[in-house]
A and B are shown apart, each in its own frame.
Chain A
Amino acid sequence: KAGVTQTPRYLIKTRGQQVTLSCSPISGHRSVSWYQQTPGQGLQFLFEYFSETQRNKGNFPGRFSGRQFSNSRSEMNVSTLELGDSALYLCASSWGHQSSGNTIYFGEGSWLTVV
């Protein structure tokens, strides 16, 4: 069974640009969540999608958005990139809602560097 797949793995963008990251969950998983990981802040929750609906959202500005498709694949978009957006973006999937205590499985992450 394939794990959570994130693309691209590494990317470099310029301030002001936008970026789209993609996540394919484990087959059968309907929940996809996104996290930003930085050395100083640890893991920060961005949002969770379940059956194409955003179920929960973290404390990030509106420049961060996401969506989920009918096949459970998810994308997150960051517009008007800032230097502080440089981070590892982790996607995780689970069979049901995170709040039901379902184990979440992570992808390898997308490293975003903003210059």
Chain B
Amino acid sequence: AQTVTQSQPEMSVQEAETVTLSCTYDTSESNYYLFWYKQPPSRQMILVIRQEAYKQQNATENRFSVNFQKAAKSFSLKISDSQLGDTAMYFCAFIGAGNNRKLIWGLGTSLAVNP
């Protein structure tokens, strides 16, 4: 069965510092997609970053970047220059490419950015 593991239930970081959230997944597929979503206290899920497994280049969105290690099945999220508004739950998700697949979600990491 495909699984997504986020091993850090809670993390904290000082404003302006850098933090890395870990995510590992288990799959036998070679083509798939990975996502990081953010859920602030408002509970609105917001896409942070998306990675296609067949692209070796790590995805980047402004202060957010990923370290995608396909062989190790690792997909960590780095947040640079952390801001108070980054305080949220962060979810890692995986979906295999193919018919009728569904997103598999990790249990999330609660990130607190402290002033």
Q: Which residues of A contact B (CB under 8 A)?
A: 33, 42-43, 45, 48, 55-56, 58, 88, 90, 92, 97-101, 103-109
- Evaluate contact between B100 and A108: CB separation under 8 angstroms: no
| Most chain A CB inside 10 Å of its own CB: which residue of B91, B103, B106 | B103
List residues of B whose CB falls within 8 A of some A CB: 33, 35, 37, 42-47, 50, 52, 91, 95-103, 105-108
6 shortest interchain CB distances as A-B pairs: A99-B101, A106-B45, A101-B33, A43-B105, A42-B107, A45-B102
Q: Say what secondary structure dominates the interface of chain B.
A: loop
Residue of A nearest to B42 (CB): A108
From A42, A48, A56, A108, contact of B43 by CB (8 A): A108
Q: Kindly list chain B residues whose C-beta atoms are within 8 Å of the C-beta of A90.
A: 45
Please give me the residue from chain A that is nearest to B46 by CB atom: A106
Of chain B, the residue at the smallest CB distance from A100 is: B97
Q: What residues of A have a CB within 8 angstroms of the CB of B106 in the complex?
A: 42
What would be 29 A-B contacts, judged by CB atoms less than 8 Å apart?
A33-B102, A33-B103, A42-B105, A42-B106, A43-B91, A45-B102, A48-B102, A55-B100, A56-B100, A56-B101, A88-B43, A97-B99, A97-B100, A98-B101, A98-B103, A99-B95, A99-B96, A99-B97, A99-B98, A99-B100, A100-B97, A103-B35, A103-B50, A104-B47, A104-B103, A106-B44, A106-B45, A106-B46, A108-B44
Contacts of A45 in B (CB 8 A): 102-103
Q: How far is the CA of A100 from the CA of B52 in the complex (A)?
A: 10
A75 to B51, CA, bound (A): 30
Query: What residues of A have a CB within 8 angstroms of the CB of B97 in the complex?
Result: 99-101
- Pairwise interchain contact A98-B45, C-beta atoms closer than 8 A: no
A88 to B44, CA, bound (A): 11
Q: Indicate if the CB atoms of B43 and A98 lie closer than 8 Å.
A: no
Give every chain A residue within 8 A of B98 (Cβ-Cβ): 99
Q: Which residue of A lies closest to B99 (CB)?
A: A99
CA distance in complex: A107, B107 (Å): 19
Expressed in whole angstroms, the minimum distance between the Cβ of A109 and any Cβ of chain B is 6
- Smallest CB separation, B51 vs chain A (Å): 10
Chain B residue, CB-CB nearest to A108: B44
